[in-house]
Structure 1
């Protein structure tokens, strides 16, 4: 999994590109949207003791993580 500091370097154009990349591989846009929302909600409450970077909101982090998992399947097989 990517380091959170790497996410800090991502600008809004890259986030948009990654979101489109995720939606392209999704069979169902509604389902992927719900999955992202659930992951973001879990992350928000799991990381409650960690000071969140205001630039990397839980929803953005969830999108980036899901794109990484789809484009780099080796990170979840470890």
Structure 2
């Protein structure tokens, strides 16, 4: 899904996430915590070793906020 991510896409998504959020500090902490969890949870799963956990977390959070139907209840 996130293979061949380009730098400008990551920057755009990061800015989009920061603009959507009410509190930049809080969203930054959420991204960092998610990335830390992913680093250790996905140790066995090697989807694409080139995509760092922080980038994957940012992209996932933007998708979750913009498309809440993908989360599932």
TM-score (norm 2): 0.91
Higher mean displacement: 33-42 or 49-58: 49-58
Aligned counterparts of 2:33 and 2:43: Cα–Cα separation in 1 = 16
Is 1:42 aligned to residue 37 of structure 2?
yes
The partner residue of 2:20 within 19, 25, 29 is 25
User: Unmatched 5+ residue regions in structure 1?
Assistant: 1-5
Q: CA deviation at 1:8?
A: 1.3
Question: Residue in 2 aligned with 1:59?
Answer: 54
> Residue 11 of structure 1 aligns with which residue?
6
Deviations for 1:25-73, whole angstroms, at most 9, x for unmatched residues?
A: 1101000000000000101110111236342100000000000001111
Measure, in 2, the Cα distance between the counterparts of 1:41 and 1:52: 17
Q: Secondary structure at the match of 1:77?
A: coil
Unaligned residue ranges in structure 2 (runs of 5+): none
Number of corresponding residues:
73
- The two structures, once aligned, show a CA RMSD in angstroms of 1.3
